[in-house]
Every structure is written in C-alpha cells, then in structure tokens.
Amino acid sequence: MSSIVTNSVNSAIVSGQFGLQQANSGLTQAATNIAQQTAQVNLAENGPQAVLADASLQGLSNIRNVLPTASDDFTSNLLSLKINSVNAQASSKVLEVANETVGTIIDTLA
C-alpha cells in the first residue's frame, strides 16, 4: 500500500515540476517575441535616425537583418503569456497538494 502512495506522490511531484518547466519555457518564448516585435515597430515608426543617430543607413540595414523576426502576432503572444501563467499556477497547485499529502502521510505513519 505504501509503495502505491509513494509512487503516486512521486508522479504528482514530477508532473508538477514538468508543468512548471513547460510554462516557464512558454512564458520566455512569448515575452521574447513581444520584445522583438516592439523593437521592430519602434524602429519602423521612429526611423533609423532616431534609433541610431550616429549610424549610417547601411549600418542600420545590417542591424535590421540581424534582428530576429517574431513568428507569431502580438495577440497570440499575449494569449500564450496568459495560458502559460495559468499552467504555472496549476502546476504549483499540484506541487502544493503533493507536499501536503506527504506531510499527511508522515503524520499518519508517525
């Protein structure tokens, strides 16, 4: 019986940790995409002189080519931030419940 409980608790902890890692990865990617898009819009709206006053037009062209482009639109990145935030909260709850379960088992066996 105790091995079943131990395996279930371990599985819950691993599941919670995996969920947090996935949520963190999704949050990082969405935030990076938003930052890239914001930088590109800033450059397009303000012109190269405002962004890099002392750079030549050729230098600005090279910089624009080096900047990565975001693959998704702004709305989907905001949605991704929200989804991954909710996933992180859910995974944290799984870890919290697993921790409480371990505490209860220890109290019961003691």
Structure tokens at 91: 């995974």
Low-confidence ranges of the chain (pLDDT < 70): 1-7, 9, 42, 47-60, 63, 68-72, 110
The pLDDT, as a whole number, for residue 55 is 37
The answer to whether 52 touches 59, Cβ cutoff 8 Å, is: yes
Helices 74-109, 2-51: inter-axial angle, 10-degree rounding: 150
Provide the whole-model pTM.
0.43
Query: Is 68 in a helix, a strand, or coil?
Result: coil
Nearest to 102 by CA among 9, 2, 11: 9
The pLDDT, as a whole number, for residue 40 is 82
